[in-house]
Amino acid sequence: MILRLNITSFLLAMVLLLACCDGKHSSSDFKPSGALPVLRIDTKSNRPVDSKERWRSANMQIDGVSKEWDILIKGRGNTTWEWSEKKPYRIKLEESSAMLGLNESKHFVLLSEAAVPFAMISTILGFELSRRVGMDYTPEVKPVELVLNNDYQGLYLLTEQIRVEPNRINVKSWPRHNDWIDRGGWLLEIDGWNTYQRLTVNSRMGINISVEYHFPKTLKAWQREYINQLLARVDSAICVSDTMSVEWEKFVDIDAVAKFYLVNELMDNCEAFSGSCWLSRDAADTAKIKFGPVWDFGSAFSHRYIDRPDCFIYENVPKYCSPLWLSELVKFPRFRRCVRDYYTKFRKANGDQIDGFIDVFIEQVAEACISERNRWPNSPVAQLRKQGEFAKSYFRRKIKFLDSQWLYK
């Protein structure tokens, strides 16, 4: 009886030990490569950053930089926050800083890019194409490694939070009284996630378009009515049978939307107009809605599953997204011509340089990818070199298709 109890106790102890270890290392076993800037963030009392709503007070240091920052940090994102162990974060500095050469601000984002394949290479490439196409504003981005509460988290992209600021989305601020006479600008986002900051456009396409408002952060009744009416007028002007109509151009900046579409077509991003689709408008009655900046490329190379880069992003669209207004805009000859002109400029200026850009980035983060793989063996970021080769091949085939369609020689 005693022997049986001892054996039972021994087996139970072993089960508990294995359950505790679960094949994992302690956080001290994982170290940054040091080949990139290392951000070290320590929350007060080592409290976990486990919420997208609750800010945590923290201190931040960057290896090799004498300056320290008092910051607030919280979670962010949708898919990555919900699905991935490696979490993305928002950080807010106590004082504005041009951290690591990014545009001076208090507000930055740490993208983990860990929820879907190709996310990191897509973001880096998409932002670079945005700059080369000439969009008004593209978020600056730097690869870094993150250590949070002495726990190595892996390879991240430090980038700029999309918000109204002079060197980001430069629209007029609203006065405190938010009156009709002294109006400010708008920052909106077409997205499918449920938030309380949401408007709905009942489109003539027979679907509802969900629009989240980011600036101003709260709307008075007249502001809600104003922006609803404006978006309804945009929808009515776009959803017409007359392909020669230019009425929609009274409301939408044709150059901005053409560049926004071109970047996302180059990236084969089928979700561009229905998810993380940013819009801004300045205060004047004559101001037009501008599409951009580009942001989420989680659906880039969207036809990779059927190996078909030889189609447009408004064709053969997956069920989880919709081209929305893009499917109507492409019927206008003036819009198509504007896109084609920007594509021609892009091709003449860039030739075959994109392969080289991808190669340089892959080499820059190669050592950090090894540390990432040690920390998160199943992370898609750990396969970045293989993804880079795929991205180069896919992009070349996409360019070949667009050359044939837009008559570039």
Angle at 222 between CA 220 and CA 226, to 5 degrees: 120
Task: Report the candidate in 59, 32, 295 with the shortest Cα–Cα distance to residue 155.
Answer: 32
Query: In whole angstroms, what is the distance from residue 323 CA to residue 276 CA?
Result: 13
Upstream peptide bond of 293 is cis (omega within 30 degrees of 0):
yes
Distances (CA, A) of 246 to 79, 241, 252: 38, 12, 10
What are the tens digits of pLDDT across the range 147-176? 999 999 999 999 999 999 999 999 988 876
Query: In whole angstroms, what is the distance from residue 180 CA to residue 222 CA?
Result: 8
Evaluate whether 280 touches 289 at the Cβ level (below 8 Å): yes
Q: What is the mean pLDDT of residues 62-69?
A: 93
Q: What is the mean pLDDT of residues 15-44?
A: 71
Query: E strand or H helix at 56, and its extent?
Result: strand 56-62
Confidence class of residue 196 from pLDDT cuts 50, 70 and 90? low
For the cut 70, the answer to whether the pLDDT of residue 118 exceeds it is: yes
Query: In whole angstroms, what is the distance from residue 32 CA to residue 399 CA?
Result: 37
The first and second tokens of residue 3, run together, are 């022997």
Confidence class of residue 1 from pLDDT cuts 50, 70 and 90? very low
What are the tens digits of pLDDT across the range 329-379? 999 999 999 999 999 999 999 877 899 999 999 999 999 999 999 999 999
Q: What pLDDT shows up at residue 182?
A: 55
Range of lowest pLDDT (36-45, 131-140, 283-292)? 283-292
Query: In whole angstroms, what is the distance from residue 101 CA to residue 135 CA?
Result: 20
Percent of the chain clearing pLDDT 70 (strictly above):
89
Query: In whole angstroms, what is the distance from residue 29 CA to residue 381 CA?
Result: 19
Q: What pLDDT shows up at residue 14?
A: 42
Q: What pLDDT shows up at residue 242?
A: 97
CA atoms within 13 A on the CB side of 90: 18
For the cut 70, the answer to whether the pLDDT of residue 36 exceeds it is: yes
Between 240 and 19, the more confident residue is 240
For the cut 50, the answer to whether the pLDDT of residue 141 exceeds it is: yes
223-233 burial, b at 16+ Cβ within 10 Å, e below that, comes to beeebbebbee
Question: Mean pLDDT over all residues of the chain?
Answer: 89
Evaluate whether 367 touches 381 at the Cβ level (below 8 Å): no
Evaluate whether 146 touches 58 at the Cβ level (below 8 Å): no
Q: What is the dihedral of CA 377, 379, 381, 385, to 10 degrees?
A: 50
Between 244 and 18, the more confident residue is 244
Q: What is the mean pLDDT of residues 315-319?
A: 83
The first and second tokens of residue 338, run together, are 């504007």
Query: In whole angstroms, what is the distance from residue 103 CA to residue 168 CA?
Result: 8
For the cut 50, the answer to whether the pLDDT of residue 51 exceeds it is: yes
Angle at 223 between CA 217 and CA 225, to 5 degrees: 130
Q: What is the dihedral of CA 140, 143, 149, 150, to 10 degrees?
A: -160
Angle at 320 between CA 169 and CA 335, to 5 degrees: 50
What are the tens digits of pLDDT across the range 174-184? 876 656 555 78
For the cut 80, the answer to whether the pLDDT of residue 16 exceeds it is: no
